[in-house]
Amino acid sequence: MRIRSVGHAVFAATMIVLGIMGLIQGDFDPVWDPVLKGVPGREILVYLCALISLASGTGLLWQRTAALAARVLLASQLLWLLLLRVPGVFLSFTVDYWWAACMTAVMVAGAWVLYAWFAADWDRRRLAFATGNNGLRIARALYGLALIPFGISHFIYLKHTADLVPGWLPWHVAWAYITGWAFIAAGVALLAGVCVRLAAVLSAVEIGMFLLLVWVPIVAAGSKDAFQWSETVVSLALLASAWVVADSCTGMTWLVLGKR
């Protein structure tokens, strides 16, 4: 086995779970969804995406296959973002489309970090711009870009966000504002290259707190609402990707971009 970090292990395990979900349900898991019913070859895509998730997640855990698994996962997620998510945003700028685009962008960022880590000699020779430190910088910038709309959505859907704050916490609306601004600040910091490690770690912690304080209690209470289960799975996938991005900043100082 070749486990680079805890985030790497969590990401690989999450992809395996998503692949199994897709195969059992015979439909896109929440990370690949939404996909319009009229898309050609939709049923084939369902199982192809599930198999990619399962195979790449498993491959990421083994030294001999990590490079290939990271390459396949990055290519598939990047194509999904460019061919399906980005055009959808321009065709219909609604929350369903731009939220899905940002979610996929976060997944691409996590996959890109793993690709930069495990790139084989072939990748480093022919795709040098996407590997090593260059690849890591691209991944962090993409992750930061996706965080900004996440924060803006807290203000657009202020009441809904405030309603999700656990009842035992005071000042629900204030928490909605704080978490929204936190996402925006982290995104700007990552794009500007300032306090990169701090921004990556705190944003991952914020995503993890959403999962643990909001969605886990809801599904643990026996919720059968498909949306709530979907959001729980999505939050887990986002946390896995954010964790990998945060791990990529190990060795940087907390307040500026650079090595210790």
User: pLDDT tens, 44-89?
Assistant: 889 999 999 999 999 999 988 999 999 999 999 999 999 888 887 7
Which residues constitute the domain of residue 209?
6-247
Q: 255 pLDDT band (50/70/90 cuts)?
A: confident
Asked if residue 260 has pLDDT above 70, the reply is: no
Report the pLDDT value the prediction gives residue 205, as an integer from 0 to 100: 96
Cα separation, 48 vs 76, in Å, equals 10
Average pLDDT of span 110-134: 90
Residue 253, in any domain of the structure: no
Kindly report which listed range (84-93, 102-111, 144-153, 176-185) carries the lowest average pLDDT score: 84-93
Element (DSSP H or E) covering residue 101: helix 95-118
Task: Show the DSSP H helices in 157-253 as ranges.
Answer: 158-164, 172-192, 196-210, 216-220, 226-247
Residue 228 lies in a domain: yes
Number of domains in the chain: 1
> 257 versus 22: which is more confidently predicted?
22
pLDDT for the residue 1:
56
Most distant CA pair in the chain, distance: 55
Residue 78 within a domain: yes
Which residue would you say has higher pLDDT here, 32 or 188?
188
Q: Domain for residue 194, yes or no? A: yes
pLDDT digits (tens, 9 = 90+) for 179-213: 999 999 999 999 999 999 999 999 999 999 999 99
Assess if residue 255 is contained within a domain: no
Q: How many CA atoms lie within 13 A of 25 on its CB side?
A: 16
Domain membership of residue 256 (yes or no) is: no
Residue 174 vs residues 184, 206, 217: alpha-carbon distances, Å: 16, 15, 21
Does some domain include residue 184? yes
Residue 259 counted as domain residue: no
